[in-house]
Amino acid sequence: MSALITYHRATTKTELEEILSLQAQNLRHIISEEEKQKEGFVTLQHDFEILKKMNDACAHCIAKQDGKVVGYALSMLQDFKHQIPLLVPMFKEIDKTIKAQHLSTNYIAMGQICVDKNVRGQGVFRGLYRYMADQLKDSFDAIITEVDTKNKRSSQAHQAVGFKVIKNYTSNNQFWEIISLEI
């Protein structure tokens, strides 16, 4: 029987380092094509400094098992929209879409979600979003993020927890879907 998985907000340097370690194991350029299709992938690699700044502004949500981070959902306030060059196009598209569709501007961007291979299929993805929504519902109306359309597993998992596609666009020779979850 596997150990209990618990959900928290990241508070320590060790937790942030474990987030970066898990991220590094799942980057799209280091895993095989087969694994990308079957398990999904993450696109962006953060450095410790920006991850800590984001966490200090709004603590990231993490899943832990036996004291170790086994999943994370990164919180990214709109204040960071110009600090990560790869995400600038996403924020521009979100801003245009919100205006065109008359959606709430009171959202938080989910900067990235990832679950350790050893606990996939145990509800951690859903648990992270449930926890994140519960933690942030008094401050925000929605969680918005983007998914590379080649990342079928991620797209399907997000839709299964209630995210709706609000826009498709192209940036950096990749096709993206911007998705939103009302909280």
* pLDDT values of the chain reduced to their tens digit, one per residue, 183 residues: 568 999 999 999 999 999 999 998 887 878 777 877 777 777 778 899 999 999 999 999 999 999 999 999 999 999 998 888 888 899 999 999 999 999 989 999 998 999 999 999 999 999 999 999 999 999 999 999 999 898 888 999 999 999 999 999 998 788 999 999 999
Pair 16, 138: CB distance under 8 Å: no
The pLDDT score that the predictor gives to residue 43 is 73
Q: What's the CA gap between 76 and 20, in Å, rounded?
A: 15
Which CATH number covers residue 37? 3.40.630.30
The pLDDT score that the predictor gives to residue 173 is 86
Q: What's the CA gap between 80 and 50, in Å, rounded?
A: 9
Number of domains comprising the chain: 1
Give the residue from 104, 112, 131, 137 showing the smallest Cα distance to 45: 112
Range of the domain at 49: 5-182
Q: What's the CA gap between 59 and 123, in Å, rounded?
A: 21
From the number of C-beta atoms within 10 Å of its C-beta (0-12, 13-18, 19+), residue 113 rates as buried
